[in-house]
Amino acid sequence: MTWKIEYDRRVKKDLKKLDKQAQRDILEFFDNLPDDPTAKGKPLKANFSGLWRYRIGDYRAICRLEDDAFIVLVLRVAHRKAAYQKTL
């Protein structure tokens, strides 16, 4: 089953803050996500339990995997230094 990628409205704001190359890299990463999204990601712990992290160069994407609907919901995209500072 193919997973559908959806972006939270805040991600669009996050992407606008990044340079054009970083934007392309991030969007291309999600366009080429394998059939099993857990293969490229890592589950988060503690305060972010239930969420997944994807490394895209110096940037991190925080996502929620909705297994029953086969949806990867991208919640936040930010530089690795700032990705975990704001609450989701």
Walk me through the domains of the chain, giving residue ranges and CATH numbers. 4-79 (3.30.2310.20)
Tokens of 24: 């392309």
Distance in angstroms between the alpha carbons of the first and the last residue of the chain: 28
Q: What angle do CA 68, 79, 70 make, to 5 degrees?
A: 10
Q: What is the rounded CA–CA span in Å between residue 34 and residue 13?
A: 25
8-35: pLDDT as tens digits: 999 999 999 999 999 999 999 999 998 9
pLDDT of residue 88: 59
Query: For the chain, how many residues are written?
Result: 88
DSSP 13: H
Q: What is the rounded CA–CA span in Å between residue 31 and residue 48?
A: 24
The model carries a pTM of 0.89
